[in-house]
């Protein structure tokens, strides 16, 4: 009986057509010939259409990141009109480092990306700005680097953004001020530098913000006082110059502010004087970047 490897390409394609796309990554490792077949665009379109052409809502597992580029693109194009999420197929992560492909921009109806601890490397592609329906983006605890693309500002539906514990560098782009629906922002434990942009004050729905453990410097923009819903503001382990850079009068009364001088959480109380400093010890925060 002939082995699968010895069969004509057309027959192998017919066999692969009925294989669940999430298993394609494993077949790529079997042989160079399989890999070439999987990269053929016509086969990719046939495979994807066989499994997903009629679906309205689809969950894409993390194996998609490891597929051949042609298959990634066709898959995303077929699902362009489907409500989509990207995340784990199971509790296991893939040990092979991989970059986020430009093809992610084809998922125009993508609502959730949760790729926490997924060995992601490289930069965040600018094509991510095409995901205007995205509400939750969690790429924390990976090996991503480079600057934050200004196209992040196009994600106007975003409510939760987690990019902590990576190696992003450079300034926080002013376009982040366009994320007016943002509730939780985690940029901690990166190499971000420069001042917090004035546009940060546009994030009026923000309740939790962690910018700690970066290389940010002051002064804090006066627009921060516009964040009337801010409950927790973590700024520790940066390069701010004491209260001159972070005067408590710039932060709304009642906000829990991480005091980088005393290394303790304190509640801002600036009701008595415009120049009053933070007062009243705080035992802890309801949320932490360690959860992401």
pLDDT at 12 > cutoff 90 = no
* Largest separation between any pair of C-alpha atoms in the chain: 88
* Predicted pLDDT of residue 150: 96
What is the band of 70 on the pLDDT scale with cuts at 50, 70, 90?
Answer: confident
Whether 201 shows a pLDDT value over 80: the answer reads yes
Which residue's structure tokens are 């605890």?
141
Q: What is the pTM of this model?
A: 0.77
Instruction: Give the tens place of pLDDT for each residue, 135-185.
Output: 999 999 999 999 999 999 999 999 999 999 999 999 999 999 999 999 999
Higher pLDDT, 222 or 13: 222
Least confident of 31-45, 53-67, 102-116, 175-189: 31-45
Name the more confident of 8 and 208. 208
Answer positive or negative: Cα dihedral of 257, 262, 265, 270: negative
Q: Rounded mean pLDDT of 187-207? A: 95
Residues 219-258 pLDDT 10s: 888 888 888 899 998 988 888 765 555 655 566 665 676 6
Taking 3-state DSSP, the helix, strand and coil percentages for the chain, each rounded to the nearest 5, stand at 30, 20, 45
Cα(256)–Cα(115) distance, integer angstroms: 29
Res 148: pLDDT: 97
* Complete domains list, the chain, with CATH: 123-275 (3.80.10.10)
In the β-sheet with 191-195, what is the strand arrangement from edge to edge? 98-99, 120-122, 143-147, 167-170, 191-195, 215-217
Q: Which pLDDT score, from 0 to 100, does residue 83 have? A: 77
């Amino acid at each position: 009986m002939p082995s699968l490897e010895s069969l004509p390409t057309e027959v192998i394609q017919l066999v692969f057509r009925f294989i669940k796309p999430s298993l394609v990554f494993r077949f790529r490792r079997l042989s160079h010939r399989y890999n070439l077949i999987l990269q053929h665009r016509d086969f990719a379109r046939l495979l994807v259409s066989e499994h997903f052409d009629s679906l309205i809502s689809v969950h894409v597992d993390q194996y998609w990141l490891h597929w051949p580029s042609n298959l990634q693109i066709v898959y995303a194009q077929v699902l362009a009109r489907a409500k989509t999420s990207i995340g784990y197929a199971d509790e296991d992560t893939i040990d092979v480092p991989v970059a986020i492909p430009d093809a992610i921009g084809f998922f125009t109806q993508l609502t959730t990306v949760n790729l926490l601890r997924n060995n992601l490397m490289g930069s965040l592609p600018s094509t991510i700005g095409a995901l205007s329906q995205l509400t939750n983006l969690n790429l924390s605890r990976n090996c991503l680097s480079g600057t934050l693309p200004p196209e992040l500002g196009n994600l106007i539906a975003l409510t939760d953004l987690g990019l902590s514990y990576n190696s992003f560098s450079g300034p926080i782009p002013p376009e982040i001020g366009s994320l007016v629906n943002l509730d939780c922002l985690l940029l901690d434990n990166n190499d971000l530098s420069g001042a917090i942009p004035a546009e940060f004050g546009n994030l009026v729905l923000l309740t939790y913000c962690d910018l700690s453990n970066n290389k940010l410097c002051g002064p804090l923009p006066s627009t921060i006082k516009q964040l009337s819903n801010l409950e927790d503001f973590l700024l520790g382990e940066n390069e701010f110059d004491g209260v001159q850079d972070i005067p408590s009068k710039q932060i709304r009364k009642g906000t829990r502010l991480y005091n980088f001088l005393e290394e303790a959480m304190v509640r801002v109380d600036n009701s008595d004087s415009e120049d009053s400093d933070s007062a009243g010890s705080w035992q802890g925060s309801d949320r932490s970047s360690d959860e992401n």
